[in-house]
Each structure stands twice: as C-alpha cells, then as structure tokens.
Structure 1
Amino acid sequence: MSQFPLGLGARLTCETCKRRKVKCDKLYPCTSCRKASFECVPVERTRLPRGRSAKTKKKRFQEEMMPHVQMPNLSNRVSMLEGLVHNLLTSQTESSLEDLNYSESLNVGSTWSGVDTLGPGNPSLDGAIQPAGSQHDGFNYPSTSQEHYISPNDVAPREGDDSRLLQIYIMQVDPIFPFLQCSSLWAHVTQGEPYLTYAADHPAPRALVCAISYMTITTLSNDRCHQEFDSSRDFLLNKYHSWTKRALEHADYINTDDIAVLQAFVLFLVSIQAHDQSRRAWTMLSLALRIAQSLLLDISDPPFMVTPLEREMRRRLWHIISLLDVQASFNHGSAPMLQPDSLREQISPAIDFLDFFAPPKDNSSPFSGPSSLADPTFIMVMAEGQHAFRSLNYGGIAGLCTTSIDIHCRLQIAATFQRNSQALLKGLLPDKIPFHLFLEQLVEVTHAFLQLVAVKPVQGTAKGYFSQDIISPSTLLSLATSFLQALNNMYQDPRIEPFRWYVRLFAPWHAFSVAMNIVCACDDSSLQGYYQRLVAGLYSSLQELLQDAHRKLLQQPLHQFAMLSRTCIHQTLAADYLPEVNLLQQY
C-alpha cells in the first residue's frame, strides 16, 4: 500500500559538514564548504505533514484507497491464524528435539620429527627446550585454528553412526573403564529401549551416550575417523565436545545425585585429557572427585538402598577416579588429592545382573549372550599399581629410607605388585587376545616404573634419594632406561593399537629427567655416549606422550642434555662394560 502524498522537500546538514562536525547553513553550496574549498554534498528529505493538515490528509487518503483494498473475510483470517500457530509449534518442537536429543543426532561413524641424536644445533631440540604455553584457555574446546573452526551444527547425523560408535567403545574403551552397563546401552541406542530403570526422556542416558561418543573419537586416529565418518578427527572432537558439554549442562552435572551423570562427566574429563594440552582436565578432576564424595562413592555401605548392579558400578567408578587422581598428580608433579588408603573395596568379578535389565533383542548386538559389567581385570591390576605407587611416593615410607634395608623394603613393594598382578593375569591368552597382551605388557611397564620410583621417588630431592653407596648412578640410569624401553616397546606394538589411547595418558617425564641428569653428570665418556644415544632415541620415539606441562618440567634437564658434546655421541661401548643391576635381580 502506498503512503499518502507528502509535502515539499526539506534540506538538512550536508554530508561534508556532518563529517567535519561543523555548523552548516543548509545552502547549496553551504558557506562552510565554499570557504574551505570542499565539495558540498546536499542532503534533502521529504517534508512530512504535521498538525491538523496531516490528520486530514491521512484520513482523506485512507477513504480514497479503501474501495481498492480487498478485505479478507473472517474465515480466511481464522485459517491464516491457525496456520501461523501450527507452523510456530512445529518449529519449536524441532528446535527442542535438536537441542535435547543429542543421542538421536550423534554422528558416530566415526612435535618433533624423528631424530637419531640430540645435541647442540638441533633445531627440533632447540624448539622443544622453549616452554610452550597452553593452547586452550576456555572451557569450550576450540579447533586447531580460527580459519578451520567448524560449528558442530554444520553436520547432519547419519543413520547407524550411533550404534557404530558404541561398538567401537565396547571394543576399545569398555575393557579399560568397565563401569557401564553396555548391553543395556546397546538396546537403548539401537532399539530405543530405556537404559536400565531410567525414563525415556531422562537427561542422564543422553549425557552418557554423548560422553561415550566423545570418548570414542579420542581413541581413533585421523585416518580411522576419515574411514569411519568421512570427517577429520579435529572436526569430530570439536563437534562431540560441544554436544557432550551441552548434555552435561542439561543434566545439571554439578548438582547431580545420579551416578550415570557422574560416569558421563568422568568420560568427558578423560576425553579432554586425551587431546587437550591445557590443565583443564586436571583442574576439573577435583570437581569430579567432590561429586563422587557427595554421592558417597568412597563408602562401601552407603546409608541408602542400592541394587547389586549399582553397588558394583559405584565401586568401579570410584577406582577409576582414584586412578585418574594418581595419574594426573604424577603428570603434573604434584601430590594426589586422595589418601593412600582411599581404595578399601575389592572389585567383584564380572557377573550378570539379569534382574535389572532386559537383554537386547537385536541379533546385531556385539554381545554373544546376556552380560552385565565387563571384566574388571584392568581395574584390579591398576588398583594394585596405584596402591604401590602411593605407598612408595606419598606414604610414610617415602620419607624414612636411608639404608640398604630400607631400599629392600621399597623394592619389595614393587615385587609384591608384580606377583599379585601376575596372579590376576593367570589363565589369559596374550597370544590370541590383544587386550590380554595389553594387560601383560602393562604389568611389565608398571613394575619397571615402580622399581624406578622405589629408588628415585617423584617427590625425592634433586640430588638423589639414596647415597651412591647404596644405589650407584649407573644402576639408577639402567632402571630409568629399562622402564623407557619397556614403555616404548609397548607403545610401538601394533597389536595393542585399540588400547594405545590409554598409554598416551601417561607421560614418562620423571624417567627422562632422571636419565638426562645422570647422563649429563657421567664422568665416563664411553658410558655417557652410549646412554646419550639411547636416551635421545627413546625421547624421539616417545615425544608424542609429552605435553607442554611435561616439557616445562623437563626444561632444565633437557637443556643440559642438549649441551653435551657431540663427540661422546659417536663413542662405542662394549657389551661387557654395561652396568649390571645385581641389586635388583632378586626383585
């Protein structure tokens, strides 16, 4: 509809005077522009009618235009309003489903170059000596760069991806973190059945499925992500991080009293730690610990009724949180939050709790039969390991060892771990089952690490824990390199590829610090040259496990190690000249 006729034009301040912020007399050209020799750009607008004349003209114009306007009848107006309301409700429903039903939209299908020597002039080593800052400061995980940032909402979900992602989780994550009821989760994801006793619209299962998706992506390589999901790993990490964070916020994870939400939050923290070099996961672990304590996970018999399945899930989750506490404290060179006697409960073997869920009906289920929680062998082995580590590094025995009798007691703790762990692994088939091979290698690596901690605790003094009369530097150096070699053999073994993600959570900065300090202080040039080449090769092979925080802890030893003379690198050492660790042969 056209407006009613307007009056004559009115001249305003010209553009030049407006930019110069000077007074304009509204002539053309205006006096200010003419004196300054500027081009005057006039501005005019139509003068609007005012007062009685405006009302009269508007009324007359509407009366003249009324016969030309076709007014809809009442039924057409009602139909139009009903259509608008229907479209509005439909759009709101679709928006709510997109924001809340993350499990429906999960897209599940899915720094150094190697060097042979380290020495002065090596550009890779010079770059590694410089302390690097954190790349991520906020709660949200950004992509690698702003140019490649991809919104999580840019990808449409593909049918069947959620079940594929859960399959990968069951094969690669659940054997290590066996605190989820995966058979019920499978029925929930593939058939839409309720998870355990949760309602269909409960936010806890949604948060759990999102966390599983995020955790699974962190265990995959970039090539595997392209093969399974046709997307890069960074893209999927950014997307699933956003979805999991929103699902946890919707479930109110801070004030939750639901163990499923805490399980999702723990998986969320492990996922962040697996690919984020900031200390965000370490800081948020304290929140997970406080939530677990508020749920009384550290109490064997809580003052409320729990089912047998829930009781076992609580035990296993508490063991995992305790393990993450020890792991995070070691990676950052600090004391753990929990006391050495925090693990008082024994883990039950894998049993079926058939009274609390219905077995899946789908023939494509990855379970051969009805099952409940997975085999807890990993948790039981690591419970022995973290108990020994807490006793050696943070317990009362850590500050009393000054004689050979004391070191015998400490090494006996490492030997006890090896003996108990091998008893737990009895009957396994490492030649046929990759996870059994992973457990066997894990016990070997952990035992070597505990031997090193028994002689050189992480919390020990900078000059050495024992005098050279008890532990010679060559023996300590042999312990450090033996552990690093065992860790490197495990990390490079292609047979444990599905579980290599867990090895990446452990940073061997302490062993490298011990080895580099002793090599730099070695008086024998032949021995120094041999171990310098050995430690340099191990550092090059395991540098993927070290993050910015660990390189900061290694800054001084790494700098001294790089300043060693290149002449000792090419020295050869006879095999019979290598130090014999006679003291440790009985352990």
Structure 2
Amino acid sequence: MATFPPGASGPDSMSPDSDQPGTSRRLIACVACQKRKVKCSRVFPCANCIRSSSQCIPGTPAPPRGRKPYNQALKARLARCEQLLSGQASAAAAKASPNAVTTPKSSQSQSPADPSPVSKWTPEGKLVEDSNGKLAFMDNYLLGLVNEELRAMDELINLDENERSSPLDSRPSDPNTDLLLGDDASNSSVLDAWPGAALVFKLWQIFLDRVNPFTKVIHVHSFQPHVVEATNGTQGLPENIMALLLSIFLMAVVAMSEEECLNTLKKTKEVAVASFSSGIRQIMRQLNFMRTNDLVILQSLCLYLYSLQDRYDRHSSWVFSGTVIRIAQKMGLHRDGDVLGLKPFESEMRRRVWWQLVSLDAKFALFSGFGHSLLPRDWDAREPSNLNDADIFPAATQPTPDRDGPSEMILCLVRHKITKFLVDTPGLEPVKMMSELNESSGAPPVAGGTREQQMSYYLTHFELLEQSLQHILDNRCNPHAGQVHVMAQGLISALLVQKRHLIKSISDGPRPDAVFQSGEDNAFMWAVSMLEHTAFLYASSEDTGFLWFADFNFQYDVQ
C-alpha cells in the first residue's frame, strides 16, 4: 500500500483543489517518478506510487538560478558597445586635433637609407565567431570586440540563423558568386561528376604521386578517411569535403596524359576536366564560397586555381586568384596562427595554404603582364615548416621542430623561397631592372634611395636567395629519396645558374668589350635563359608524371 509523508492526511490533502485562494504553486513530480523518468499524476500519493506500493515523496523545485534578467543583460551589452564606439570616436577626435602630433611606428623603425618599400608595420587583428559558429578574422581589434558584443546580443534574442541548414541542391546561389563562377545552364549535378569507388582510389593515388608534392595544402593522414568514405558516393559527406575531393579529382586528371585519361576514365581529358570543374562550380555556388570562413573550402579553391592554366584567359585567372587571396585575408591567413593563438596543426596548415596562394598569385600576375609589385603586403604568416605529414597531427598541443634533413616539403620549400624573394623585392622586374639600372634612362624601380643604393639592395636580396636555395640543396635535398627530390635538385641547380647570370649582368653592366651592350640585350639573354629553364623542366618531368607542372610554369617571366 502506498504511503505518503507525515502531515498529509490523505490523497485529497495535497490536491490542487485544496490550495487556498490567492496562493498558486507549481506542483512538481514526485521523487520516484522523476527518478524513473515517467509521467506523474502530481496528486500525492500519485498513481504510479500507489500501483508500485512505494513511498510517494513530492518533488521540490530547483533553486532559482542567479542570472540577470533578460532585459538587464541586453542593456549591459548595448552599454558595452556604446562605450567601445564612443572611445573610438574620442580617439579619432584627438588624432584630428591640430595640437596632437603622433609619429607612426613604421616611420620610426624604417631607416631613410633603406630603399625597401615593404612596410614594417604589423596591424592588430582578432579572431571572432561568425553567425555560423566559425572563426572569422577582423583586422580592426575594436570592431572585433564590438562584433563579439553584437554576437552575444544575437544569442540573447534568438536571432542566430543557420544559413547552411538546407540541402545542397535546394539552396539559392549567391549572385556575387555567380559573377565569378558563372551559372551552369546544364541540368547536370555534382552526382554526375562523382567517380565510382575504384576510380576514387585511382584518382587519389595519382594526386598523391604527381600533384601533392607541389602543393601540400592537404594533410594526407587526416584526410584519408574521407577518401574511403567517398567510395560510397556523396551520401553523408560534408559539403566542404565534397568540394575538396572534386578539386583533388580535377587535379589528378590535369596531371594525366590524354591517353592515360582515355584508358582510366573512358573519356577525353577535356571532357573529364569540364565535368569535374562543373561539379566544383556548382558546389562552390551552393556553399556561398565568397562568404566562407572554412579552410577546407579554401584548400579546394587553391587546387582549383592550379587547374585554370591553359583553360581560361590568363587575365581572368589572375583576377580570380586575387579574389581567393582576399577570401584568405578575410579568414586571417595572412596572420600567423601562433599570433592568433591557434593550435600548432591548424597554424601549420594555414601557413601552407597561404604561401601557396601567394605563390599562385605571383604566377598569374606574371602571366597577365604584371609584376610582383602587386603581391599582398603586410602579413606575418611564417613559411611552412620542413615537416612530413606524419610529423604533425590535429591533436598536437606543441609545435614540432623542423626536420634537419629531407622531407616531403622539398619542392614547396623551393617555391616558398622564390615567393619570399618576390615579396621582399616589390620593385624588382628582372627584364625592366636590367635596362633601367644598367642605363641612365628611366625612373628607378623603387622610389627612394640613390641608384647605387637600390642596386646594392637588390644584389643583397639576390645573394640571400642564393644562400637559401643552396642551403636547401645541401641540407634538405636527397636524390635517393625519390623522384620529387631528383626534380628539386635539378630545379634548384637551374635557378642558381639563372640568378648568378642575372647578378653578373646587373653588377657588370655594359662593357666596351661585351657582346651585349644594352639593357635590352641583357633582357633578351634573360628571356633565353628562362626558355632554357622551361626546356629543363620538360626534360626532367617527362618520365616522372610532373609534366603538368612544367606546363604550368611555361614562359614564366617573358610573357
């Protein structure tokens, strides 16, 4: 028989009808029903306790939580925003005052004798959480704080919307995205471009052997499970992973010969490239890639940029490359992950992607007829480390020190040194410089400093580049480590010969006994040297599967 606590004379004594007028209390399920997680009749003893002949103890409400009322919390957030913005306005007014004299840090630290136009100032920055819960980078620290306050207010009033909750094929595309990626008129879908299980592994292996050594924007060990999952089709795959896989498949086809593509995919290389490219464009539109803060999507765009060579107008490719660079800057990849407080693995992968994008942008700029003076400036992302993928892993809490010897990064290390040289010498145009520095006509390549100072500046950077390449050749390159290192050895040797020829041309200038008297003659010799470099790339790539990279570098500086 059910029992109930002393002081309760019977079932009716605790019924709602027995409450006195003016006193209204919320009845809580009894302790036994709460423990068993069953519905309680809330009449004590309750029906469940009567049925089980157990003691019925009324539940007690939990103590009130010590939190601010809703309106008070919202007002506090608004006051905080007003305080931040008013402080910024006061600072701006003080700066505009005629009595306020300030000296920028960059002008204090940069010597007038240094002809380098590269700014030494490093802007502040802050990672903030966007409306999708992803981290976004804001260059203005104050606006980052305001953004955090506004974000907190959004959570208070439940206005946070998930913009990516609808299925992939049902979301409307962003018109800004269509401006760059077009709007495929065909009725084909991403599923039409997806390869079968056997082809997924085949294309993945081709990518690893022929493309990955030049890019290294993917961590193979952590991405491998997604490749296995992709053999079952697109079902269950995250959309960003689908985009990256399609870019991998596309670059594998780019690295194939025409005959190999016919034998493997049973279609021409042109058709296969068009199919995967269409799939990438569709999924990028659906992902609204122009607004992304997702590193995986940026990795996909980086690989997609490689595939544009010889398929699109080189000027359009350069513009699109600039767009991807801006997306990367919006994500804060130009700032080093250690500065932003990121984990070592994420910091390293961000460095790899950023340096690849800057290298690609330099390439497309040269193809489009522009120099590297338009490369992005004012960034502090360090060069990627000399590490294999097996040396780093997502759960790491401490950075891994560089390897002393060879690694998988050898070809990327060479490209990054060239990229760093281009970034550090924004006024350098090899052909233009030889005619302007060796002759007395024309404006100096870099404003500020005498012609002798500028020549000394460039020669110093050439020597630093030569030392860096020689260090890689002596300490990081081992021809016995495989075809990648064999090609790196030949590539470095060819680059060193070219740079030494250019340094000699600049240092000596036209001499009475020289065969070539003018800067234009030296420019012609430089162009011939670059064609010889291209011929070497073709010769060394023909039997290694790297011929696509030689095509990508054709006419490097002479277009």
TM-score by length of 1: 0.51
User: Where do 1:4-153 residues align within 5 Å?
Assistant: 139=181
- Corresponding residue of 1:265: 301
| Offset at residue 333 of structure 1 (A) | 1.9
In 1, are the aligned partners of 2:427 and 2:446 still within 8 Å (CA)? Answer: yes
Letter of the 1:345 counterpart: R
- Corresponding residue of 1:349: 386
In 2, are the aligned partners of 1:491 and 1:500 still within 8 Å (CA)? Answer: yes
Q: Which has the higher Rg, Structure 1 or Structure 2? A: 1
Q: What secondary structure is seen at the aligned counterpart in 2 of 1:347?
A: coil
Q: What secondary structure is seen at the aligned counterpart in 1 of 2:267?
A: coil
- Corresponding residue of 1:423: 471
CA distance in 1, matches of 2:314, 2:522: 35
CA distance in 2, matches of 1:173, 1:161: 17
Q: Does 1:173 align with 2:211?
A: yes
Q: Does 1:317 align with 2:353?
A: yes
User: Where do 1:499-518 residues align within 5 Å?
Assistant: 499-508=546-555, 510-511=557-558
User: Where do 1:137-286 residues align within 5 Å?
Assistant: 139=181, 157-191=195-229, 200-286=236-322
Relative contact order higher in (CA < 8 Å, ≥ 6 apart): 1
Inter-CA distance 412–484: structure 2 relative to 1 (3 Å threshold): farther
In 2, are the aligned partners of 1:445 and 1:483 still within 8 Å (CA)? Answer: no
- Corresponding residue of 2:517: 472
Unaligned runs of 5+ residues in structure 2 are: 1-165, 171-178, 397-406, 429-443
| Offset at residue 408 of structure 1 (A) | 6.0
Inter-CA distance 510–316: structure 2 relative to 1 (3 Å threshold): closer
In 2, are the aligned partners of 1:407 and 1:454 still within 8 Å (CA)? Answer: no
CA distance in 1, matches of 2:270, 2:183: 10
Alignment counterpart, residue 461 of structure 2, candidates 404, 413, 417: 413
Letter of the 2:225 counterpart: A
Q: What secondary structure is seen at the aligned counterpart in 1 of 2:215?
A: coil
In 2, are the aligned partners of 1:455 and 1:476 still within 8 Å (CA)? Answer: no
Letter of the 2:242 counterpart: R
What does the per-residue CA deviation read over 1:418-458, in whole Å, with 9 as the maximum and x for residues that have no partner? 2211211335333662111221222234345545766889x
Letter of the 1:347 counterpart: P
CA distance in 2, matches of 1:141, 1:430: 47
Letter of the 1:413 counterpart: H
Inter-CA distance 206–228: structure 2 relative to 1 (3 Å threshold): same
CA distance in 2, matches of 1:156, 1:405: 57
CA distance in 2, matches of 1:138, 1:355: 33
Inter-CA distance 468–331: structure 2 relative to 1 (3 Å threshold): farther
Letter of the 2:478 counterpart: L
What does the per-residue CA deviation read over 1:109-144, in whole Å, with 9 as the maximum and x for residues that have no partner? xxxxxxxxxxxxxxxxxxxxxxxxxxxx984599xx
- Corresponding residue of 2:434: none
In 1, are the aligned partners of 2:168 and 2:286 still within 8 Å (CA)? Answer: no
| Offset at residue 275 of structure 1 (A) | 3.2
CA distance in 2, matches of 1:496, 1:415: 33
| Offset at residue 416 of structure 1 (A) | 2.8
- Corresponding residue of 1:69: none
User: Where do 1:509-528 residues align within 5 Å?
Assistant: 510-511=557-558
Letter of the 2:532 counterpart: Q
| Offset at residue 489 of structure 1 (A) | 2.1
- Corresponding residue of 2:26: none
Q: What value does the CA root-mean-square deviation take over the aligned residues?
A: 4.1
CA distance in 2, matches of 1:436, 1:296: 32
Inter-CA distance 418–228: structure 2 relative to 1 (3 Å threshold): farther
Inter-CA distance 449–331: structure 2 relative to 1 (3 Å threshold): farther
CA distance in 2, matches of 1:409, 1:251: 46
CA distance in 1, matches of 2:462, 2:543: 25
Inter-CA distance 141–182: structure 2 relative to 1 (3 Å threshold): farther
CA distance in 1, matches of 2:231, 2:271: 30
- Corresponding residue of 2:534: 487
CA distance in 2, matches of 1:335, 1:494: 27
Inter-CA distance 241–156: structure 2 relative to 1 (3 Å threshold): closer
Q: Does 1:441 align with 2:477?
A: no
| Offset at residue 170 of structure 1 (A) | 0.8
Q: What secondary structure is seen at the aligned counterpart in 2 of 1:504?
A: helix
Unaligned runs of 5+ residues in structure 1 are: 1-95, 101-136, 358-373, 458-464, 512-549, 551-587
CA distance in 2, matches of 1:380, 1:498: 20
Q: What secondary structure is seen at the aligned counterpart in 2 of 1:293?
A: helix
| Offset at residue 378 of structure 1 (A) | 2.4
Letter of the 1:292 counterpart: A
| Offset at residue 249 of structure 1 (A) | 1.9
In 2, are the aligned partners of 1:172 and 1:499 still within 8 Å (CA)? Answer: yes
How many residue pairs get matched? 350
In 2, are the aligned partners of 1:163 and 1:189 still within 8 Å (CA)? Answer: yes
Inter-CA distance 398–243: structure 2 relative to 1 (3 Å threshold): same
Percent identity over paired residues = 18
Alignment counterpart, residue 412 of structure 2, candidates 367, 379, 397: 379
- Corresponding residue of 1:361: none
In 2, are the aligned partners of 1:166 and 1:212 still within 8 Å (CA)? Answer: yes
What does the per-residue CA deviation read over 1:393-428, in whole Å, with 9 as the maximum and x for residues that have no partner? 526974679867865653453343222112113353
Q: What secondary structure is seen at the aligned counterpart in 1 of 2:479?
A: coil
In 2, are the aligned partners of 1:253 and 1:265 still within 8 Å (CA)? Answer: no
Letter of the 2:550 counterpart: V
What does the per-residue CA deviation read over 1:259-292, in whole Å, with 9 as the maximum and x for residues that have no partner? 0011111211221235334533211111111110
Letter of the 1:472 counterpart: Q
CA distance in 2, matches of 1:386, 1:475: 23
Q: What secondary structure is seen at the aligned counterpart in 1 of 2:382?
A: coil
In 1, are the aligned partners of 2:214 and 2:412 still within 8 Å (CA)? Answer: yes
In 1, are the aligned partners of 2:189 and 2:282 still within 8 Å (CA)? Answer: no
| Offset at residue 225 of structure 1 (A) | 0.4
Q: What secondary structure is seen at the aligned counterpart in 2 of 1:175?
A: helix
In 2, are the aligned partners of 1:207 and 1:251 still within 8 Å (CA)? Answer: no
